[in-house]
Structure 1
Amino acid sequence: MLINLLFPPRCAGCRAEGTSCCARCLSSFGPPRRVRVPGKGPPLFALADYAGAARELVLAFKERGRRDLARVFGALLAAAVPALPVAYPGGAGNAWLVPAPSRRAAARRRGGSHLVGAARAAGLAVAPALAFGPGVGESVGLDAAARRANLAGRVRLVRCGLPPPGSPVVVLDDVVTTGATTSACVSALKAGGYGVTAVLTLTTAYRAHPDG
C-alpha cells in the first residue's frame, strides 16, 4: 500500500522499520507462567514481565494509539488460553474471556477498550461483562491497600455483556501490579454466579509486599 511506502510501520517495542512488532520484541512474551499473589482465588498467569520490550508494547497499545497491535496481542492470547494449565468444563473452547474494565475517561481517550480489541482479535469468545462504577479514581501510585479501597464495591456486572450462564470464565488484564483489580473482577463475577477458571495478564509488575 502507498501509505506503507510513505510511512513504513515501525515496531512499537524497538522502532525497527517494517513491522508493528518485530520477532525479537515478540520473543519477550512466552507461555503462561504462574504469578503467585496473596489470598484465595483462581490462579493468575502472565505472559511476560512488565519491563523492556514487553512494557513498551503494552504501553503503545494501551496509551499511544497503536491499535495495530491488537492482532499481535490477539495471537498471543489465542495461543495462551488453551495452554493455561487449568481445567475447563467442556474444554478450552468453552472458555469466555472477560476483560478487566477501564475507567470511562480512559476508554474514551483510547477509542474503546484495548483489551476487548485484543480478545476479539484472538478469535475467542469475549464477554465485556465488567465496568467500573462511580468513584473509581486513578490507581497509578497507589499501594495495594489503597488500590483495594479504591475498587471496593465499584466493579459491577454489565448485564448485556455477560457470558452464557455456567460458562467457564478467564479474566483478562494487561498488567498485574498488586492484584487488586483482578481480585475485584473475580469477586464481581463470582457474586453473579460465574466460575472464574483463571486470570490471564499480558504482563506482570507484581512484587510481593507485606500488605499484599
Structure 2
Amino acid sequence: MGAGTLDHMLINLLFPPRCAGCRAEGALCCPRCLGAFGPPRSVRVSGKGPPVFTLADYAGVGRELVLAFKERGRRELAAVFGALVAAALPRLPGVRPDEFGKWWLVPAPSRRTASRRRGGSHLVGTARASGASVAPVLHFLPGVRDSVGLDAAARRANLSGRVRLRPSGLPPPGTAVVLLDDVVTTGATAEACGAVLKAAGFRVTAVLTLTAARSTHPHG
C-alpha cells in the first residue's frame, strides 16, 4: 500500500465524505440522492437540432449535485456522473457505438473564464470518467455571455457564430457522436454545437444532459 493510499484513507477517516446532495456522511452521493437520476428520457426544446435526453430535473437534489460539482469544488463527483453517463449511453434510442465498440462523447464547451474558475472543464472530467472516447473539440469565441436569465432567442443570439471546432483531437471523419452537457434549458447550446459538428462531417445522434430545466417539459 503506497503513501498516497494511506494519506487518502487517513483523510477519509478524519473527514468522512459527505453526500453532495443531502450532506449525509459516508458517500460522495448517497443512494437516496442518486435515485434522483434515472434512465435517459426525451425532453422537448425549441429550435432545431439532434434529439435531447436528460437523466434528471434541474431541481431539488439534481440541481444541488450539479451545482456542487460545477460551482462548489466537488470535482470528485465526476466519477458519479461518469457512471451515470456510462449507464445511459446504451439506452439512448438510435445511438450506437462505432465499429470498434467505442462510444464517442463531445463535451459542450464552457466560457474560458468559467472554466478557469472551476479548475478545468467539469464535463470533460465526466466524459472521461464514463470510459467513453472523449473529443473535447468545441470551444467558445470571446464574447459569449453567461446565459443565466436569457430567453431562447437571446441564448441563440449569444452563441451565434461563436462556437468553433478545434482542429486537433477530432474523432475519425463521419463518426457518430453524442454531445454531453450538464443542463439543458432552451436547447440553444445543443443546437449551436450540433450545427458546428454537423458542418464538420460528424453525426450528432443525440444530446445527453445530466439535468433539464423544468421549462423543457420532459416527456416520454
TM-score over 0.5 (shorter chain): yes
Alignment partners' CA distance in 2, 1:107 and 1:40:
27
Q: CA deviation at 1:130?
A: 0.2
In structure 1, what is the equivalent of residue 105 of structure 2?
97
Equivalent AA in structure 2 for residue 123 of structure 1: G
Alignment partners' CA distance in 1, 2:49 and 2:156:
15
In structure 2, what is the equivalent of residue 188 of structure 1?
196
In structure 2, what is the equivalent of residue 156 of structure 1?
164
TM-score under structure 2 length normalisation: 0.91
Please, what is the CA RMSD of the aligned residues? 1.6
Q: CA deviation at 1:158?
A: 1.0
The answer to whether the 8 A contact 1:94-1:168 is kept is no
Q: CA deviation at 1:164?
A: 1.4
Structure 2: gaps (5+ residues): 1-8
The answer as to 2:124 corresponding to 1:120 is: no
Which SS does the other structure have where 2:127 is aligned?
Answer: helix
Q: CA offsets per residue over residues 157-185 of structure 1, 9 Å max, x none?
A: 01113211111110000000111111110
In structure 2, what is the equivalent of residue 66 of structure 1?
74
Match of 1:44 among 52, 76, 79: 52
In structure 2, what is the equivalent of residue 85 of structure 1?
93
Alignment partners' CA distance in 1, 2:128 and 2:136:
10
Alignment partners' CA distance in 2, 1:133 and 1:21:
35
Aligned residues: 209
Match of 1:76 among 78, 84, 101: 84
Alignment partners' CA distance in 1, 2:137 and 2:214:
25
Closer, same or farther: CA 196–80 of 1 in aligned 2, 3 Å: same
Equivalent AA in structure 2 for residue 51 of structure 1: A
In structure 1, what is the equivalent of residue 153 of structure 2?
145
Q: CA offsets per residue over residues 40-74 of structure 1, 9 Å max, x none?
A: 32211000000111110000000001011010001
The answer to whether the 8 A contact 1:119-1:126 is kept is yes
Closer, same or farther: CA 119–87 of 1 in aligned 2, 3 Å: closer
Closer, same or farther: CA 147–40 of 1 in aligned 2, 3 Å: closer
Match of 1:22 among 23, 30, 53: 30
Structure 1: gaps (5+ residues): none
Q: CA deviation at 1:38?
A: 2.7
Alignment partners' CA distance in 1, 2:100 and 2:34:
24
Alignment partners' CA distance in 2, 1:19 and 1:112:
24
Which SS does the other structure have where 1:207 is aligned?
Answer: helix
Closer, same or farther: CA 5–22 of 1 in aligned 2, 3 Å: same
Q: CA deviation at 1:91?
A: 6.2
Alignment partners' CA distance in 2, 1:106 and 1:204:
20
Percent of residue pairs identical: 74
In structure 2, what is the equivalent of residue 6 of structure 1?
14
Closer, same or farther: CA 94–5 of 1 in aligned 2, 3 Å: closer
Alignment partners' CA distance in 1, 2:63 and 2:99:
32
Q: CA deviation at 1:190?
A: 0.8
The answer as to 2:115 corresponding to 1:107 is: yes
In structure 1, what is the equivalent of residue 6 of structure 2?
none
In structure 2, what is the equivalent of residue 202 of structure 1?
210
Q: CA offsets per residue over residues 116-173 of structure 1, 9 Å max, x none?
A: 0011001111100100012111111111111110000100001113211111110000
